[in-house]
Amino acid sequence: MVIRIFDNQDEAGLYAASLAERAIMGAAHPVLGLATGSTVIPFYRELVRLVQCGLDLSHITTINLDEYIGLPPHHEQSYHAFMKRHLFSRVNIPESQVFIPDGSVPDLAAECGRYDEIIREYPIDLQILGIGVNGHIGFNEPDDLLVSRTHVVELSEETIRSNSRFFADVSEVPTRAITMGVQAILQARQIVLMAFGEEKAHIVAKAIRGEVRTDIPASILQLHRDVIFVLDKGSAKELSLAKDA
């Protein structure tokens, strides 16, 4: 486990983008696992800047973690739209090499199976993660048992409240999502988890320093052989750096 603490989100985003560049340059056909949410926007901004400086993304494949159920891909708050807005419309990744779950299909079980086949076909070299205030990664919410494969999840009230800032009203927030399972996340060659702000400090400390528990899904990352936590000073506030692994 590696922990890196930065003065601000821009510096953290640049560091995460440099890790992605290393993964991209280190493989003939690199696969990036991607996340959404405000935390990863600095990462995408810096990755776009690297492309503007000459980094070629035409040979990479991307696999997103999750998508809301009930929002069509063109909905402004769908994760399809988020990714297009912050990355895909600004770089040269062919559309045929971009994969995001479709939460608008009638057969969700078939969609989950389709997505697991994609993950098997394209092993992930670098997985980017955020962390929810309740410790979720992807939309793997705290539970008695974490599901290993792509699945439909009922979003917790805490997650719905947190995500309501992106909608006009909390009643508009979808209550279900499709998410990649924890097995696929842990099978990534390298994992980069990003977290910013004092409101994430308590859960970050639990994820890094606490016991590995299913009610804190991010704590399972302690079992991974190559995970990097990219934090700002606020999110690292409750860590004791003397205990760094």
From 21, 66, 116, 232, active-site residue: 66
Strand order from edge to edge, sheet including 66-68: 66-68, 176-179, 151-154
**Is 141 part of the annotated catalytic residue set?**
yes
Q: Within a 13 Å sphere around the CA of 122, how many CA atoms are in the beta-carbon half?
A: 22
- Give yes or no for a contact between 131 and 221, defined as CB atoms under 8 angstroms apart: no
Identified catalytic residue from 80, 86, 136, 151? 136
**Could you give the angle at which helices 41-52 and 79-86 cross, rounded to 10 degrees?**
40
Catalytic-residue membership of 66? yes
Which of 102, 134, 158, 238 is an active site residue? Answer: 134
Looking only at Cα atoms, what is the longest distance across the chain?
Answer: 51
Residue 152 in tokens: 């439909």
Indicate if 172 belongs to the active site: no
For residue 208, the one-letter residue type is I
Asked if 78 and 41 touch (Cβ cutoff 8 Å), the reply is no
Out of 21, 67, 116, 141, the active site residue is 141
Active site residue 92: no
DSSP H or E run through 99: strand 98-99
Which positions are annotated as active-site residues?
66, 134, 136, 141
